[in-house]
Structures are given as structure tokens and as C-alpha cells.
Amino acid sequence: MEYKPKTNDMTIAALQSLFKRDLETLKNEIELYTSEENLWLVDKSISNSAGNLCFHIIGNLNAFIGAGLAKTAYIRQRDLEFSAKNIPRKTLISQLEETIITVEAGLNTLTEEQLADDFPIVIWDKPSNMAYILIHLATHLNYHLGQVNYHRRLLDS
């Protein structure tokens, strides 16, 4: 007999798959830069470098999925996500690989019943639904991933 997951089981599996896919794609984008220095370029109306966007994604996911679901001791320093410069590519890659493990650990703790609960960290001054926050975090990651891709194609030539 074939296993047919319930809707929420499919939601958790989809989130796991999407986070992993997009974090691996971000890692690939960072590796594709022909010049490590170009990770940190800004130009005209492009105010965030790919390196800073990568740090921002790492910080965001560790702050919410890491601390909130995986129960890590991560303490976010959001201002550094945008002010740090010229961090070696290997450091970004290493932190992305650690973030992938943390996100997987956090999502692996979820049950379908918990998707209807409040997310364990209050983000916008009031409790928010677990499924909503996780979908928000996935789309936030994807938004910035697109910015990194565009940054690389424009400024790494």
C-alpha cells in the first residue's frame, strides 16, 4: 500500500525540500563568483553586496529556525549582517553549510499539529502562526537568493 501523506506532512516535507534547495543554490551562487572581492561590491542603486545578503540569510535563519525550532543558542547581530565586509568566501560557505544542518534539525522537530500553533519566537510584536512564519522565512530566503544571483550576473563580469 502506497503512503499518501496528509496535507501538513506534505507541507513540512515541501518546506524541508525548499529550504535545502535554496540554501544549496545560495552556496553555489557564492562559489560561482569569479573574484572573491566581487562578493562585496555595491554599485549605484545596488546597496547590499552578495556577501552581506548571504550573511543576512544566515543570520535570519539561525535566529528563527535555529534558536526557535532547533533550540540553538544563536544570538543574532543583525547590524553586522550588513556592515561586515571582505569576509573570506570559505567562511561564508562554511556558515551556509552549518545553517543547512541547523535548518534541517529545526524542521525535523516539527509535527503536523505544530504547524497550526504559534511560532516559538514573536517576530512582529504579536504571536504568528508556525506555518505562516516558515513560509515567510522560505520566501524571504528566495527573495534574497534572487538578489544574489542578479548581483553576481551584473557585478562579477
Amino acid at position 153, single letter:
R
Burial label for 7, CB within 10 Å (0-12, 13-18, 19+), is exposed
pLDDT at 136: 98
Distance (Å, whole) CA 65 – CA 22? 15
State residue 2's pLDDT score: 53
**Would residue 69 count as lying in a domain?**
yes
**Cβ atoms 84, 95 nearer than 8 A:** no
Q: Is residue 142 part of a domain?
A: yes
* This prediction's pTM: 0.93
C-alpha 106/C-alpha 84 separation (Å) is: 27
Q: What end-to-end distance do the CA atoms of the chain give, in Å?
A: 53
pLDDT score of 10: 82
Specify if 132 maps to a domain: yes
Query: Is 5 a member of any domain?
Result: no
Q: Output the pLDDT for position 156.
A: 95
Task: Please list, in sequence order, all residues whose beta carbon lies within 8 angstroms of the beta carbon of residue 141, skipping any fewer than 6 positions away.
Answer: 19, 22, 23, 26, 57, 60, 61
| Residue 79 included in any domain | yes
Q: Which three cell numbers stand for residue 45?
A: 542603486
Q: What is the distance between the alpha carbons of residues 88 and 14, in angstroms, rounded to a whole number?
A: 32
Q: How many domains does the chain have?
A: 1
pLDDT at position 157: 80
Domain span at residue 126? 23-28+45-155
Asked whether residue 9 is assigned to any structural domain, the reply reads no
Residue 39, domain member (yes or no): no
Q: Which residues in the chain land under pLDDT 70?
A: 1-9
Q: What angle do CA 121, 126, 129 make, to 5 degrees?
A: 65
The pLDDT score that the predictor gives to residue 3 is 42
CATH of the domain at 78: 1.20.120
